Every structure is written in structure tokens, then in C-alpha cells.
Amino acid sequence: KYGGWTLSGAEMIPHYGIVEIDTLSKELLSKDEGSFLKEADLKAKAALQAIGNGLSAGLFGSGTGVIGTSASATGSSGSVTVTLSIAQQAYNFEVGQYIETDAHLYGTADSYGYITAVDPVAGTIGYTISSGTLGGTDYIWNQGNEPSASGYSYYKAISGLEGWVPSSTPGATSWFGQDRSGHPRLGGLHLTGTSYVIKEAVMRGLTMCVTAGARGPFVVLCHPDQWNVLATALEGSSTISKVYPTWFDGSEIKGSVGFSAINFMSPGGDAQVIADKDCLPSVVYVGPKDNAELHFTPSGIHLIDGDIPIYNSDGRQFRFGCFANFVVPVPGHWCRIAVNAP
């Protein structure tokens, strides 16, 4: 009704994970086939996990691919300690990860380097700068992911909920070929809920969705800390259950992966609260469960190429990847709620 977006092949974003096995390790393990296969399996799982982590974080991103923002740093070159603007962003980094930074959301990176330490409690990362200089409040990307220019067509990460339902009504800038300034429903609904307790803020957001024409069942996506607060606030009027991801036909993907959900009644039908570490503590998203889709090309996440010689090294490289993007067909049935972080 209000939008109805679909994605063309050109708008599917590549995500890669790379595994390298040096010749010495290969030789040492060659006499023990089981050990070699175990080593290869562990490295492959790490690459697949990296792709999964990128997709998971991207579901709540705007599409720019930013994985952190520096609030301050102990220096601008060499080995520095960066304090992130949001402590939980530290979980987006791993020791040895290559990153780039820039004072702007697109263009050419100001610095390149790699991560040497991660402290999620303090919200800091150790960063060794190989080239360029770090600004005090730079944006941070995985190396190679900074958009070269403004606009979704230059994005190198999936466009998540913050892109489809931004913090304010978007202007005329094209979004997947659509001018979203013509009707506020095209850019989603927005609620400043900082003056309400979390339960009331969520109920008001759900009411806005129902008034806009949405129908349940609904999903409430929030940070685990907010999930705990809501579990207490809804005690006595809710139940806890385990929910599973679903295929496009609505059937459940049952297995080891599941989510604990708080079930309660909303103005438009059943609603479930699901926690996700990649959702910011200061934001809650509410919308219909069947109105958000993660799209893959038919091959899904797969081995793209294997046993590739590495330049200037005696090792071999294996490349995993996928082409994917996230779409909200009717953004006007979702509401972004700004809340107080617990």
C-alpha cells in the first residue's frame, strides 16, 4: 500500500569471509587427516561466523556500514586507544580485524590499520594505524566498506531498520528509487518515548502502527537490557516462549537457533518481544512480523573459491560469501521508538 519495495540484483550487497591456511600448518597436519580437516573446519566456521555477524549487525544499521564511532582517542597515529561513542559497539571488533576511519560518512578513508585489543566493558579498542591519521570523532568501517559517495547505491552493507525506518522523516533523497518525502509512512513512523516508561512507550508505538493500518502478530525488537526491563514490566500479563526464524513461506526453521520471546497482547493482536545485541539500548523497533525480509541470492552463503595461492606468501586462501540485502516492504507499518537506555 505505502511503498511495496522489491530489490533488483544490482541492489544485493556482497559479504565475504576469508580463510587462510599457511603451508607450514598444512604440512604439519597433512599426516593427520582428521586434524587437518578439524583445522580447516574451524577456520571455515570462523569465516561463516564473520559473515553472519556482519549481516546481524547490518539488520539494525542504516546501510552505511559503520560499525563504530570514536568519541575520543589517545592519539592520531601509531598505536592508540579509541573510546567508542557507544560502548556496546566494541562487540563489532575482533583482534586482528582490519578497519578504516573517516570524519565523513562517505569519501576516502583518513586512516587504515588493525585492531589490537577490545574492551566491551570500557567501550574501547586498541588501534594500530598503518596509514593516515585518526580524527577525534571518526566513523569506523571494516576495511574497504566506506561508501565512496552519498546514497544507497554506493552502500557496501545491507540496509537495515535504521535505513528503512530512520530517526526522522526522510527528505527527497532517493531510497531504492523512491522519493520518501511524499508521505511520512514511506519512511516509517517515529516516536520519542523518552518521557514514558518503556512499557508505555512500546504500547504507544504499537498503537501508531495499528492506526497506520498494520495488523499483528507484531514483533518488538530491542537490546537485551531493554528486554529485561520489559520482562519485569509485563510480568503477570505475559508469557515466555521460544521462537524460531522462518522461511519465506512462514514455516519455522527449527534447530539449535531460537529466541526467548515475551508474548503479550497489543492493540492490533499478539506481540512478541525479542532481544538482539545489535539493537541499540536507546532504540526499540516495533512492526508486523511478516513485514521485514532478509533476501539472499539462491546460492546463499557458500564457498566462492578455494585453494587460491596468496601473493607473497606460501599459504592458500579460501573465500566464502553471499549476496544479500534487507527489505521492509511497507515501512509505514513500522515504528522507531527512541527510549532511555537502561
Distance CA 272, CA 258 (A): 13
User: CA 86, 334, 337, 153 torsion: positive or negative?
Assistant: positive
Higher local confidence (pLDDT), 42 or 36: 42
pLDDT higher than threshold 60 for residue 5: no
**pLDDT given at position 310:** 67
End-to-end CA distance of the chain: 36
Cell of 84: 567508542
Please, which pLDDT band fits residue 259 given cuts at 50, 70 and 90?
Answer: confident
Least confident of 15-29, 37-51, 147-161, 228-242: 15-29
**pLDDT given at position 28:** 52
**pLDDT given at position 36:** 54
Write out pLDDT tens, residues 261-320: 999 999 999 999 999 989 999 999 999 998 988 888 877 788 887 667 766 666 777 788
- Cβ(188)–Cβ(166) under 8 Å? yes
**pLDDT given at position 270:** 94
**pLDDT given at position 192:** 97
**pLDDT given at position 342:** 87
**pLDDT given at position 288:** 95
Please, which pLDDT band fits residue 7 given cuts at 50, 70 and 90?
Answer: very low
Write out pLDDT tens, residues 153-189: 888 888 999 999 999 888 888 888 888 887 767 889 9
Averaged over 81-92, what is the pLDDT?
92
pLDDT higher than threshold 90 for residue 142: no
Mean pLDDT of the chain: 84
CA torsion angle 118 119 124 126 (round to 10): -30
pLDDT higher than threshold 90 for residue 205: yes
- Cβ(68)–Cβ(97) under 8 Å? no
pLDDT higher than threshold 90 for residue 80: yes
What pTM did the predictor assign? 0.84
Distance CA 307, CA 35 (A): 18
Label each residue of the chain as H, E or C.
CCCCCCCCHHHCEEEEEEEEECHHHHHHHHCCHHHHHHHHHHHHHHHHHHHHHHHHHHCCCCCCCCCEEEEEECCCCCEEEEEECCHHHHHHCCCCCEEEEECCCCCCCCEEEEEEEEECCCCEEEEEEEEECCCCCCEEEECCCCCCCCCHHHCCCCCCHHHHCCCCCCCCCCECCECCCCCHHHHCEEEECCCCCHHHHHHHHHHHHHHCCCCCCEEEEECHHHHHHHHHHCCCCCEEEEECCECCCCCECCCCCCEEEEEEEECCEEEEEEECCCCCCCEEEEEECCCCEEEECCCCCEEEEEEEECCCCCCEEEEEEEEEEEECCCHHHCEEEECCCC
State the Cα angle at 272 between 271 and 278, rounded to 5°: 130
**pLDDT given at position 31:** 58
**pLDDT given at position 224:** 93
pLDDT higher than threshold 80 for residue 236: yes
In the chain, the percentage of residues whose pLDDT exceeds 90 is 45
- Cβ(247)–Cβ(192) under 8 Å? no
